Amino acid sequence: MNYENIYIEEDNQIATITINRPKKLNALNKQTIAELHEAFKELDEDKDTKVIIVTGSGEKAFVAGADISEFADFSVEQGGELAAKGQELLFSFVENLSTPVIAAVNGFALGGGLELAMSCHFRVASTNAKMGLPEVSLGVIPGYGGTQRLPQLIGKGRAMELIMTAGMMDASKALECGLVNYMVPQEELLPLCVKIASKISNNSSVAIKYAINAVNAGYSYDTDGYAVEIDAFGTCFGTDDFKEGTSAFLEKRKADFPGS
């Protein structure tokens, strides 16, 4: 598929999706959300892709928010549909993707940009990154999962303050409160993400898929995460990856996972 607002680079089983709207600070419009959905879907279905990194073009922004010009005159119904469709197509879709997704936050991650980063499985930030959910300054609230994921990641009190003040958190504060896993100079951001992705890609993609599902289940109000874990743990015993992983361990060699 040809994309206008993103591009994909693939190397050594690691795919990097770059959101490429530099004049708009990579803001998310409907087309970009649709393109990201297709890219994530395509890569998730590709058995040769073990890890996905998502980042923004340029040095200023990961994603500076949603494209406000698209919805400034929306009705109540259109606003609700915007949030529901966006969550379905991108934010919840990424969170539940079976392929691990790392957000490389290279600058501003505001509003929908932070919501995209939070929907990824974890985040790495450059030292110049700034994160926030400024929606209340526009008379609206985060609509792409921000009110749910931010408290899960940094705690209710901190999330309430960040949302209600419409403030921004710098990378060092984000690191301190667990919003990001690492903070590095911008030139080291993608190399570190690739290094982590390479470690992930050495492991069983089948087991990782089940692990992602089990961890996410623990944050679902109507799901017993422990039961999901037990079921997934048992299921792993019937996979070729389990047979290869245990055989390799007992034979003192490196596992070569078939991924089935």
Selecting among 4, 9, 115, 161, the annotated active-site residue is 115
Decide: residue 76, CB within 10 A, 0-12 exposed, 13-18 middle, 19+ buried: exposed
Provide the 10 A C-beta neighbour count for residue 73: 7
- For residues 23 and 35, the answer to whether their CB atoms sit within 8 Å is no
Alpha carbon distance 70, 67 (integer Å): 6
Query: Which two three-digit tokens encode residue 110?
Result: 């505001």
* Catalytic status, residue 95: no
Strand 51-56, strand 169-170: pairing: unpaired
* Catalytic status, residue 251: no
Provide the 10 A C-beta neighbour count for residue 45: 10
CA-to-CA separations, 85 to 91, 241, 247, in angstroms, rounded: 10, 35, 45
Provide the 10 A C-beta neighbour count for residue 128: 17
Selecting among 4, 135, 161, 187, the annotated active-site residue is 135
SS3 label, residue 56: strand
First to last CA, the chain: 26
Alpha carbon distance 260, 257 (integer Å): 8
Q: Which residues are catalytic?
A: 115, 135
